């Protein structure tokens, strides 16, 4: 049985891969190839890479080769691949319902990768996009979401984060922001463990109405 919940916020901060755009098959194929090249267990990498910066994953598993040049090489190769890349359900509708100054993207992808994916899926690039190369620490560190909220001009209590990965949900929690977890790439138990405030299938279960005082009324179907 679905349960409807309603709350208010001033802005939305979206993750990108797995939240707005489906790139999971491409990303997982990339990490499997990487694991094979470096004689690593692909299942271990896939269990820890979702929602995190490429450089952080490489540093964890093969620190001696972790360079920005290597990351650029892999991400540019991935960005050129388009097969299977598509918007996830509900994305276009929710972005259309939001004022342009009330939403941002905070992604673990590089600027090059993020812009490529948004252009491939014909998604408008918002005024604020925080990418992997703009932060010193990636998710689950709160730096990215804190920066996104600050650049939009909203304090953490007035922001809602939308994420598919536990690392991103933990980043939202650490920044003092509420979060909506999407069941697009992970199990409900994983998002609950990361302490998502609300968990839904995807963004088709989220509706937004602009109120007269400028706040956003958010209704979700859990």
Q: Which of 15, 22, 141, 205 is catalytic?
A: 15
Here the tokens at position 102 are 């009330």
58/54 Cα distance (integer angstroms) = 6
Here the tokens at position 32 are 């499997």
Q: Which helix (H) or strand (E) holds 54?
A: helix 54-61
Q: Is 142 helix (H, G, I), strand (E, B) or coil?
A: coil
The pair phi, psi for residue 68, each rounded to 5°, is: -65, -30
CA distances from 169 to 21, 51, 94, 152, 182 (A): 17, 9, 20, 20, 10
Q: Which helix (H) or strand (E) holds 56?
A: helix 54-61
The residue assigned the tokens 């992604």 is: 107
Q: Is 31 helix (H, G, I), strand (E, B) or coil?
A: helix
* Catalytic residue status for 15: yes
Q: Which of 17, 56, 164, 205 is catalytic?
A: 17
Which residues are part of the catalytic machinery?
A: 15, 17
């Amino acid at each position: 049985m679905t349960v409807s919940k309603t709350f208010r916020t001033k802005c939305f901060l979206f993750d990108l891969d797995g939240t707005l755009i489906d790139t999971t098959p491409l990303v997982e194929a990339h990490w499997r190839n990487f694991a094979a090249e470096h004689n690593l267990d692909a299942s271990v990498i896939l269990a820890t890479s979702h929602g995190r910066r490429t450089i952080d994953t490489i540093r964890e598993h093969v620190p001696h080769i972790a360079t920005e040049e290597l990351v650029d090489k892999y991400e540019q190769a991935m960005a050129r691949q388009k097969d299977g890349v598509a918007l996830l359900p509900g994305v276009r509708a929710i972005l259309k319902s939001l004022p342009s100054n009330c939403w941002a993207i905070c992604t673990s992808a590089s600027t090059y990768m993020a812009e490529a994916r948004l252009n491939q899926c014909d998604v408008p690039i918002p005024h604020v996009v925080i990418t992997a190369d703009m932060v010193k620490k990636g998710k689950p560190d709160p730096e990215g979401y804190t920066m996104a909220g600050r650049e939009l001009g909203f304090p953490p209590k007035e922001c809602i984060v939308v994420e598919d990965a536990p690392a991103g949900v933990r980043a939202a929690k650490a920044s003092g922001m509420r979060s909506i977890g999407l069941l697009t790439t992970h199990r409900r138990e994983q998002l609950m463990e990361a302490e998502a405030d609300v968990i839904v299938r995807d963004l088709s279960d989220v509706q937004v109405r602009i109120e007269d005082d400028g706040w956003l009324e958010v209704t979700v179907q859990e």
